[in-house]
Structure 1
Amino acid sequence: MGRRPTFDTAQVVRAARDLFWTKGYDGTALPELEAATGLARSSIYHAFGSKRGLFDAAVEDYLSAVVTPRLALLSGPDGPHAYFESLAHDLAATDPDRRGCLLVDAAAGPAAHDDALAAVVTSYRRRLFDALRDALAARGDHDADTTARVLTTMNIGALAIARVDRTEAVAIARAARDLAAPDVIGTGTPGR
């Protein structure tokens, strides 16, 4: 029988998630993971199988701790507007070392060559699109698919540009918020 881990797995995964979020998968070296998690390389490999295994655990944590709560905002009475207001606020207030989105960053890096990770990124984009479309349709948007596609693209664009230009990322999120306003959606004319 193997030894039981003597560390808090959730805490280790969160520490790794934050490092991957800041530096990306390719930019994170094993010695940095050792320092961030407090684990020796052998313990990382024993617990997670590899750096990639730890990254996969970090992505799962990101989905449950960051993505799911934000998507829950879309189920409220003013869902799309509230969602993008929250995104703009978080982009403006975020730690300058951790900008953007772990999954959007992965899409531009390792997901391009990794079918399993590409599936996770695609699933995230689909969850966002579906949640936006459903919220818009519930509010009576006459073309919820198109509006959701535009808002999804603006969301991903804001998260991608946040790495290099926080001001523009916030401006994109606020433009999406304004586009998602109840008096604009589905009419094609602001204020009607």
Structure 2
Amino acid sequence: MKSSKPPLKVGRPRTFDADEALDCAMKVFWEKGYEGSSLPELTKAMGMNRPSLYAVFGNKEALFHKALERYNDTRMQFFDAALALPTARAAVERLLSDYVDVQTEPDVPHGCLGVNAALACSDDALPIRDELAARRLRGEMKLRLRLERAQEEGDLPPEASPEKLARYVMTVSQGMAVQAAAGVPRTQLHEMATMLLRGWPY
């Protein structure tokens, strides 16, 4: 006699989400820096064992580079959007304002992943430090080119130095990232941005 019970259904295994795992790794690196993030902390946060992590993402350095790209894709989109604004002042104002907001969002580590990771890098992590420095310089160059265009359009006076202004803005933004990581409130960081803009050439 056949059983009247329906056959047991085997549940589908949970689909692995690489972006979700990468977001978890990103938050660990963001909070603890590159060298301060251990493999046990990363694997626990990502819900993976070490062999699986290596198979999907490579070693710790490769994982960090992927997390950094993920950070840029999901947290730094405002940079190019700010540079597309019609005036240099509006671009810098939006740039600094969005920097502050991203660096002080709730439920994520404060500060900037790139700045936090670069603050404590030994000689063993020199390639990481060099990569982070190169990224900062690329951002500074993009801002400099935008300011040079503003000067050509008469939006900045002839005596202004796009190179120095770009370096100044980026230095202030990195300083605000350090302050944000130390717990300085968002309102105070916005005040710092406002002070910079009071001395803007136009």
| TM-score, structure 2 as length reference | 0.75
If you compute each CA radius of gyration, which structure gives the higher value, 1 or 2? Answer: 2
Partner of 1:176: 193
Alignment correspondent of 2:176: 158
Question: Which consecutive unaligned segments of at least 5 residues does structure 2 have?
Answer: 1-14
Cα pair 2:33 2:113 within 8 Å, conserved = yes
- 1:54-73 to 2 correspondences below 5 Å: 54-73=63-82
User: Does the 8 A contact of 1:82 with 1:177 survive in 2?
Assistant: no
Taking a change above 3 Å as real, the CA distance of residues 177 and 113 of structure 1, as seen in their structure-2 partners, is farther
Residue 17 of structure 1 deviates from its aligned partner by: 0.5
2:10 is aligned to: none
Aligned-residue RMSD, C-alpha: 2.5
Shift of 1:111: 6.6
1:185 is aligned to 200
Partner SS state of residue 78, structure 2? helix
Partner of 1:133: 144
Report the counterpart of residue 23 of structure 1 in structure 2. Answer: 32
Larger % of helix: which? 1
Output one character per residue of 1:101-133: Cα deviation in whole Å (capped at 9) or x when no partner.
111112112375434323321222112212322
Quote the sequence identity (%): 28
SS in 2 for 1:25: coil
Write the distance in 2 (CA, Å) between the matches of 1:39 and 1:174.
42
- 1:70: Cα distance to partner? 2.9
CA distance in 2 between partners of 1:132 and 1:79 (Å): 9
What per-residue deviation string (whole Å, max 9, x for no partner) do you get for residues 22-66 of structure 1?
222222222222222111111012222322221121112112222
Kept in 1, the 8 Å contact 2:30–2:113? The answer is yes
Q: Which amino acid aligns with 2:18?
A: T
Whole-angstrom CA distance in 2 between matches of 1:14 and 1:64: 11
* Preserved CA contact (<8 Å) 2:110 2:180: yes
C-alpha contact (below 8 Å) 1:88/1:174 kept by paired residues: no
Work out the CA distance in 1 between the residues paired with 2:80 and 2:130.
Answer: 19
CA distance in 2: counterparts of 1:107 and 1:150, whole angstroms = 19
How far off is 1:99 after superposition? Answer: 0.8
Moved more, 169-178 or 19-28: 169-178
Q: Provide the TM-score with structure 1 as the length reference.
A: 0.78
